[in-house]
Amino acid sequence: MRSKIYPGNYLAFLAVKYDVDVEKLFNALVHAWKNQKAECGNLSIVLRHKDKNNLSMLITQESKFIAQFHVTEEFLSQQSNLIRISARGAQPFETRQTVHSGDQPLQIKDLRIGMKKVNLKAKIIEVSPPTFVVTRFGNCASVANAMVSDDTGKIKLCLWNDQITSVAPGDTIQIENATISEFRHERQMRIGKKGTLRIT
């Protein structure tokens, strides 16, 4: 929050961008204020410095820097600020405006980081060899990236477990209820538990 952005707007923006509940994010900041650190989904919050009424907060995601900003104790102590954040949302930011209702399919050129409920028809260009990872829940899983394209562009699609072997280069797929996130400074499409992928 290096500019004169209202802190509530910025928190709502972070909540949308990193797919966490804004109320939980606000409460996690309060917890970090009182207990030095807190977790909110896959975000970690640390109180870096306290100078009278001013707090310096650091937010990271799996050791990746997300944000460092200042907020006052007064702001965190007033529950009415949470109501204001929830009501206002992140409207001043492009991310909020690009959250999609899922009613109509999109093209790749339309996709923006922070979008949810994305429906998209695309063609598989390539699928990377799978790698094995241990999730934050302690489970073993296979993960691979597929490059998909349409007439307007291309984007990486994150595939997990059975999804990897269910598609092959050349397949045309229909994706529903996906989200658009950022990984290593580029857009990436993810299909969560509520999303679907099928070959057309």
Domain that holds residue 39: 7-96
| Helix/strand/coil percent split, the chain, to 5 | 25, 40, 30
| 111-159 tens-digit pLDDT | 888 888 889 999 999 999 988 877 666 778 888 999 999 999 999 999 9
- Assess whether 15 and 104 both reside in one domain: no
| 47-77 tens-digit pLDDT | 998 888 889 999 998 878 888 888 888 888 8
Last residue of a domain, one of 43, 68, 96: 96
Across the strands, what pairs with 142?
Answer: 132
Last residue of a domain, one of 51, 68, 96: 96
- Assess whether 87 and 173 both reside in one domain: no
- Assess whether 50 and 107 both reside in one domain: no
Q: Examine residue 91 and state whether it is found in any structural domain, yes or no.
A: yes
Q: Which residue has the tokens 């030095």?
A: 36
- Assess whether 83 and 104 both reside in one domain: no
- Assess whether 20 and 88 both reside in one domain: yes
